[in-house]
Amino acid sequence: MGNQHIIEPNQVNRIHLVHFSDIYEVYYHYLSIHSKSDALELTRRYVVKTIHKSIEEQLAAFEFLYMNDFFDELENELDKKHYDKGAALVYSIILKRKDTPLTADEFAELESLHFTHPSLQSLRLFLLVYAHYDLKQYQGMDKYADEIQASLFTINEPLLHYYLKLRYDEISFVHYWKTNNLILAKKFAYKFINSDLAPRKYTAMHHHLALCNAFHDYDEAMYYANKAAELAEKHRLTRALKSVSEHTIPFISAFHEKVGDIHTPDPVETAHINIMKGDLEPAITYLSSLKTLTPFQQSYLGLATRDKSMLLEAKDRFINQYGDMFFAQLPEQYLLRIDSIKKEAVEI
């Protein structure tokens, strides 16, 4: 109890947060006298039973439902005809993206949209960054960062502002992670996981932190990977559990050559594991059979065949196709291993 301080704006932000929505007041009150889970449930009931007339109230309601994983409730709300069309459009895109990444065509449509309401315009900017990330264009935040920061000062409702600040921390983490600035990336990640988060986002950030540590700290990486798997299992996040257990844990284990009891149904990571065990032939046969290779698969095959040109091409693709400086370290590391293997062979 007494958790209301979580959503309370600081002194700097109070200047522009002048529209305290009913939902903010209700949630604040419930947090002050109930546990967080009870406050969430009571506020959820209030949101779905109330007609939200102003656009500020509507956006606060939509964002509260989305950020707390009340997706069915949000979908039902968006079907109601009295809501602002722009607000309903933005959140229908946000809700759809939860299951289906944004496409290049949808990115083009987002670029053509313009909203007069500053909060909707801010949400549009976030969607443009999400679209870049979905398209694996990880430098996409560069052109929007200043505009997004400025837009946060145009939002006048504290609950929406609170959740959009969380969104900003999340996209900033991805930006600094993928540009391989890990000190700043972890700063935003720790801010994010120490906030008021739904299980889905809490699990996802632990998963990201596992990958963030994948090359430099095996124990730290596995700590976050196991924590993500534990959270996913606890909250029945099937897709997240599959991703961590079948892809991330085998990937980290293979990279660090700790593959003794590691198994996965994923054939690509199985090939990766086999390479680290020295069982090259089945790995090469499988990877060579693929019609097109991702940079990850190229890195694995390049290591297995000791093909430096393939590893250099994988590195180039990570950097120039994806803007992913972090995972460009994978083929770099495997180039070093090839040199190490050749050096050992010469010495023998």
Model confidence pLDDT, tens digit, residues 254-277: 999 999 889 999 999 999 999 999
Taking 90 as the threshold, does the pLDDT of residue 342 lie above it? no
Q: Is residue 335 part of a domain?
A: yes
Q: Is residue 212 part of a domain?
A: no
| Domain shared by 144 and 272, yes or no | no
Q: What is the mean pLDDT of the chain?
A: 93
| Domain shared by 153 and 11, yes or no | yes
| Domain shared by 174 and 284, yes or no | no
Taking 70 as the threshold, does the pLDDT of residue 53 lie above it? yes
Q: Is residue 99 part of a domain?
A: yes
Of 169, 224, 160, which is closest to residue 20 (Cα–Cα)? 160
For 143-152, what is the mean pLDDT? 94
91-117 pLDDT per residue, tens: 999 999 999 999 999 999 999 999 999
- Greatest Cα pair distance in the chain: 78
Distance (Å, whole) CA 235 – CA 229: 10
- In the chain, the number of structural domains is 2
Helices vs. strands in the chain: H and E counts, helices first: 20, 0
Band of pLDDT at residue 11, cut at 50, 70 and 90: low
Of 304, 312, 307, which is closest to residue 268 (Cα–Cα)? 304
**Percentage of the chain with pLDDT > 70?**
96
pLDDT value for 12? 59
| Domain shared by 175 and 38, yes or no | yes
| Domain shared by 277 and 137, yes or no | no
Q: Is residue 223 part of a domain?
A: no
pLDDT value for 277? 95
Decide: 256 and 278 in contact? Cβ < 8 Å.
Answer: no
Distance (Å, whole) CA 200 – CA 49: 25
How much of the chain is in helix, strand and coil states, percent to nearest 5? 70, 0, 30
Q: Dihedral sign for Cα 263, 269, 274, 278, please.
A: negative
pLDDT value for 81? 80
pLDDT value for 5? 82
190-248 pLDDT per residue, tens: 999 988 789 999 999 999 999 999 999 999 999 999 999 999 999 999 999 999 999 99
Distance (Å, whole) CA 237 – CA 274: 29
Domain stops at, among 180, 214, 236 = 180
Report residue 153 as tokens: 């000062």
pLDDT value for 102? 96
For 118-133, what is the mean pLDDT? 96
Name the residue range of residue 282's domain.
266-348
Q: Is residue 279 part of a domain?
A: yes
pLDDT value for 347? 54
| Domain shared by 14 and 128, yes or no | yes
State which of 32-41, 141-150, 267-276 shows the largest mean pLDDT.
267-276
For 317-334, what is the mean pLDDT? 96
| Domain shared by 40 and 151, yes or no | yes
Q: Is residue 240 part of a domain?
A: no
pTM for this predicted structure: 0.92
Taking 70 as the threshold, does the pLDDT of residue 344 lie above it? no
CA 178 to the chain's CA centroid: 11
Amino acid at 157: E
Q: Is residue 346 part of a domain?
A: yes
Distance (Å, whole) CA 18 – CA 290: 57
Taking 90 as the threshold, does the pLDDT of residue 18 lie above it? no
Taking 90 as the threshold, does the pLDDT of residue 139 lie above it? no
Domain stops at, among 125, 159, 180 = 180
Of 231, 237, 91, 68, which is closest to residue 163 (Cα–Cα)? 68
pLDDT value for 17? 79
Q: Is residue 198 part of a domain?
A: no
| Domain shared by 119 and 11, yes or no | yes
| Domain shared by 52 and 166, yes or no | yes
Domain stops at, among 150, 180, 210 = 180
